[in-house]
């Protein structure tokens, strides 16, 4: 049971969408469990959100458990704006 960990750094926006999609899919391949570490994300836009959704959906389709952890403030803000906490289902730790 290999839990792979994939940290994402910097801007998760349309500018890097193509590159990040590859990174995510590569990480998913062959893993049975993947933790996507979001604490380094400084900015995230719709393209980024779509990628996270894609990661979750692909994980479900390939029987790989995908968890989003350490949501950064930028990510939290968008999750709350779009009310996505329920959709992703991961626990959100609000900074104190």
Partner 1 sequence: MNLDQALQTYIVESREMLEAMETALLGLAHTEGEERAESINAIFRAAHTIKGSAGLFGLDQIVEFTHVVESVLDHVRDGKVAIEDALVTLLLSCGDHIGTLIDITESTRADPDESVAQAGKPLLVRLSVYLATPPSPALPAATLVVEADPADFARMGHHGINTDNWHISLRFGRDVLRNGMDPLSFIRYLGTMGEIVGIVTLHDGLPLADEMDPESCYLGFEISFKSEATKGAIEGAFEFVLDDCLLHIVPPNSLASEYIAMIQALPEGPARLGEILVRCGTLTAHELDSALALQAQSEQAAPIGEILVEQGRVQPAVVEAALTKQKQGKDSKAQESQSIRVDADKLDHLINLVGELIIAAAGANLVARSTRILELQESHSTLANLVEEVRDSALQLRMVKVGGTFSRFQRVVHDVSREIGKDIGLVVNGEDTELDKTVVEKIADPLMHLVRNAIDHGIEAADVRIARGKPAKGTVRLNAYHDSGSIVIEVGDDGGGLNRERILAKALERGLVESGKALSDSEIYGLIFEPGFSTAEQVTNLSGRGVGMDVVKRNITALRGSVAINSAEGVGTTVSVRLPLTLAIINGFQVGVGHSVFVVPLDMIEECVAFSAEEGHDYTNLRGQVLPFIRLRELFDVEGQKGSRENIVVVKHAGQKFGLVVDTLLGEAQTVIKPLSKMFAQVQGISGSSILGSGDVALILDVPSLMQQTHAAKSGDRASVSA
Write the binding mask 67 to 96 for partner 1: x where contact by CB under 8 A, - elsewhere: ----------xx-xxxxx--x---------
Is the separation of the CB atoms in 41 and 74 below 8 Å? yes
Q: Is 53 in the site for partner 1 (CB under 8 A)?
A: yes
Q: Which of 35, 96, 39 is nearest to 71 (CA)?
A: 39
Complex with partner 1: residue 9 or 77, whichever CB lies closer: 77
Complex with partner 1: residue 13 or 33, whichever CB lies closer: 13
């Amino acid at each position: 049971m290999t839990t792979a960990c994939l940290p994402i750094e910097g801007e998760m926006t349309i500018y890097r969408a193509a590159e990040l999609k590859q990174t995510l899919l590569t990480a998913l391949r062959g893993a049975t469990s993947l933790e996507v570490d979001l604490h380094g994300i400084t900015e995230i836009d719709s393209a980024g959100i779509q990628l996270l959704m894609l990661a979750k959906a692909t994980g479900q389709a390939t029987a790989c458990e995908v968890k989003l952890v350490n949501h950064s403030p930028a990510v939290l803000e968008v999750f709350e704006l779009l009310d996505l906490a329920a959709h992703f289902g991961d626990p959100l730790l609000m900074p104190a």
